[in-house]
Amino acid sequence: MTGIRQVVRSRAFLVLVMVPAVAGCWEFVQSLAERDGSYLITGGRWLDVQTGTLVENDGIGIRDGRIVSIGVPPDTAEFLTEFTLQDDMTILPGLIDLHAHYAVDLFGEGRVDETAAYPELFLANGVTTTFPAGEMDPVRMRELRLAIERGERDGPRILNSGPYYGSWRRGWDDEAMTADSLRREVDHWAAQGAAGFKAKGIRPEHLSVLIDQAHEHGLTVTAHLDSGFGDSVNPRDAIHMGIDRVEHFLGGDMMPADRTAYASLEAFDDFEGDALRDIIDLYVSRGVNFDATLSIYGYWGPHDPEMTEYWTDELRFLTPYMREVVEGRPQRPVNESFAKMSPIKRRTLKAFYDGGGRDLITLGTDHPSWGRYWSPFAVHRELLALARAGVPPADVFRIATLNSARAMGLEAELGSIEEGKSADLVILRGNPLEDVRAARDVRFVFAQGRLHSPDELLARAEGSIGPANASEESAWRPGGRR
């Protein structure tokens, strides 16, 4: 049994349904619920991310995609479908990934956006909002967003980021990108519905224009920056330009401009010194968000079984042909640089948290998969990485929900379980405040009030990533068409 009792009401009848994994039952429940879209969830407990406490659930009412009541409702009959959760079940706000790459690189020749399975896989893992943080094919990703919004595809809310700004975009030309052409491009993608922008490998003069023009549209800018070495930008300088969020490296004097940020981080050990304290103080005083992306170092460095274990067979989402290719490859060599940086990254993040940055940390996974460790599952590895860095579990989930919503200016709509907000909810078994890995046991997901079964979503995605045979490989390489 799923542990959920369902009462389906209508004006004509009242039906009590226990919801096991029985063929046809889920479809019956879903078809009735979709006629009305109103639900009452009782039992279990829900996480108040504002206070970091679990609250006994007397009732969460959903109608027309929104949370309309919390507590005992005045009239239960106004909700068509009622779920009664078992005591050991927990409701979280929908998880938000602000570095949610849809891109994969299956052949080591460059990234392409994966849209066949990733929307279902994100939802199945409780991720109800994604910001791709740089799209390889922004037209394709915009089409995916619109298809989800129209109800033609199941998937999380996509906050389109448009193309990369900087050398990481294919065809980017520093000399040809003038201030005026950059402004026109920002205007174009804003008109296409972009929710924010991502810079990587950008020069200072371009970043300044990007930030100013994005802010003209009320949109945010995030960036993968460096130390100021060469033509790069140190995060400290980007903060003075007005950037909204910084990824990976804090910057400042802990990353001097005479070497790359990676070289500085590998050797950094002065956790009590002025350089780290000063840059943290700058973030806090300016209210700039930091997206640490801790878990990515585990994929490239020496494997840590606790971080990189599979709790489900992720390879089953590859086509049979592609799975054979991936399993036939030799083990990837250990990236010694990442191996050195991983523990330093965790200590840096904890220093940022302790230094007043709790509400400025956001969740981002940043994993363009090569055929293993899919990005939609990475959110749970990032939750664990944050906890292992010393962030209390309650704040781990605050980071993954409310903090990330605020970073995109969406806190009035997303990020917590409150009346009037979008009904983005994750129902799981277990207590995530005792072990954040409980969030992996997702039983049901509500995305903008629509109910989804993770088991059904996962089954639908099986065998769909990658080419079906050798003749289709070109479509999964940069420039190929699918």
**CATH number for the domain that contains residue 447:** 2.30.40.10
Residues 202 and 81 in one domain: no
Asked, for residue 248, whether it belongs to a domain, the answer is yes
Asked, for residue 9, whether it belongs to a domain, the answer is yes
Residues 55 and 113 in one domain: no
Residues 119 and 217 in one domain: yes
At 294, give phi and psi (nearest 5°): -70, -35
Residues 204 and 336 in one domain: yes
Asked, for residue 465, whether it belongs to a domain, the answer is no
Rg (CA), the chain: 22
C-beta separation of 327 from 466 below 8 A: no
Residues 302 and 365 in one domain: yes
Residue in 211, 229, 356 with CA at minimum distance from that of residue 286: 356
Q: Which two tokens stand for residue 134?
A: 């740089």
3-state secondary structure of 221: strand
Residue in 126, 100, 125 with CA at minimum distance from that of residue 113: 100
- The tens-digit pLDDT sequence of the chain (482 residues) is 344 445 554 433 333 333 433 334 445 455 544 545 789 999 999 999 999 999 999 999 999 999 999 998 877 777 888 889 999 999 999 999 999 999 999 999 999 999 999 999 999 999 999 999 999 999 999 999 999 999 999 999 999 999 999 999 999 999 999 999 999 999 999 999 999 999 999 999 999 999 999 999 999 999 999 999 999 999 999 999 999 999 999 999 999 999 999 999 999 999 999 999 999 999 999 999 999 999 988 787 777 888 888 999 999 999 999 999 999 999 888 888 888 889 999 999 999 999 999 999 999 999 999 999 999 999 999 999 999 999 999 999 999 999 999 999 999 999 999 999 999 999 999 999 999 999 999 999 999 999 999 999 999 999 999 999 999 999 999 988 76
Asked, for residue 105, whether it belongs to a domain, the answer is yes
- Domain of residue 106, CATH code: 3.20.20.140
In this structure, what DSSP letter does residue 478 have? Answer: T
Residues 124 and 210 in one domain: yes
CA 473/CA 455 separation, integer angstroms:
29
CA atoms within a 13 Å half-sphere pointing along the CA-CB vector of 380: 25
Residues 131 and 242 in one domain: yes
Report pLDDT for 30: 55
Sign of CA dihedral 351, 279, 202, 341: negative
C-beta separation of 45 from 91 below 8 A: yes
Sign of CA dihedral 343, 344, 346, 347: positive
CA 140/CA 105 separation, integer angstroms:
17
Q: In 10 A of CB 147, how many CB atoms?
A: 16
Report pLDDT for 36: 53
> Considering its fold, how many domains does the chain have in total?
2
Residues 71 and 154 in one domain: no
Residues 276 and 210 in one domain: yes
In this structure, what DSSP letter does residue 222 have? Answer: E
3-state secondary structure of 257: coil
Which pTM was predicted?
0.94
Residues whose CB is less than 8 angstroms from the CB of residue 389 and which lie 6 or more positions away in sequence, other chains included: 294, 346, 347, 349, 350, 353
C-beta separation of 363 from 400 below 8 A: yes
Asked, for residue 428, whether it belongs to a domain, the answer is yes
The neighbouring-strand residues paired with 426 are 92, 445
Q: Which two tokens stand for residue 154?
A: 């199941």
C-beta separation of 104 from 477 below 8 A: no
Asked, for residue 460, whether it belongs to a domain, the answer is no
Report pLDDT for 75: 78
Residues whose CB is less than 8 angstroms from the CB of residue 425 and which lie 6 or more positions away in sequence, other chains included: 41, 60, 91, 92, 93, 94, 417, 445, 446
CA 138/CA 261 separation, integer angstroms:
28
Could you give the residue ranges of the DSSP H alpha helices within 25-90?
Answer: 25-36
CA 48/CA 86 separation, integer angstroms:
19
CA 134/CA 129 separation, integer angstroms:
15
Asked, for residue 323, whether it belongs to a domain, the answer is no
Q: Which two tokens stand for residue 464?
A: 């769909």
Domain that holds residue 163: 95-313+329-407
Could you give the residue ranges of the DSSP H alpha helices within 242-311?
Answer: 261-267, 274-286, 296-300, 305-308
Residues 223 and 154 in one domain: yes
At 304, give phi and psi (nearest 5°): -100, 110
Residues 87 and 29 in one domain: yes
Residues 29 and 102 in one domain: no
Asked, for residue 190, whether it belongs to a domain, the answer is yes
Report pLDDT for 280: 98
Please name the helix (run of DSSP H) or strand (run of DSSP E) that holds residue 90, with its range, or none.
strand 81-93
CA 244/CA 283 separation, integer angstroms:
10
At 225, give phi and psi (nearest 5°): -110, -175
